[in-house]
Structure 1
């Protein structure tokens, strides 16, 4: 179970980072 949880958390973290980076980079450049 621990391995499955870690994999899910890693995938979720990567997804969040991608979403944040896509939304934050353009705003940071605009400012």
Structure 2
């Protein structure tokens, strides 16, 4: 499930994939709950 959300985010914001990945790694719990 986490992979699906992360991939979807990367596809939606490809140009910002790196930033999204860093935010995801740093706020896994917050993003997962949201």
TM range (shorter): 0.3 to 0.5
TM-score, scaled relative to structure 2: 0.40
- Higher RCO, 1 or 2 (CA under 8 Å, sep at least 6)? 2
Of Structure 1 and Structure 2, which has the larger fraction of its residues in helix? 1
When normalised by structure 1's length, the TM-score is 0.43
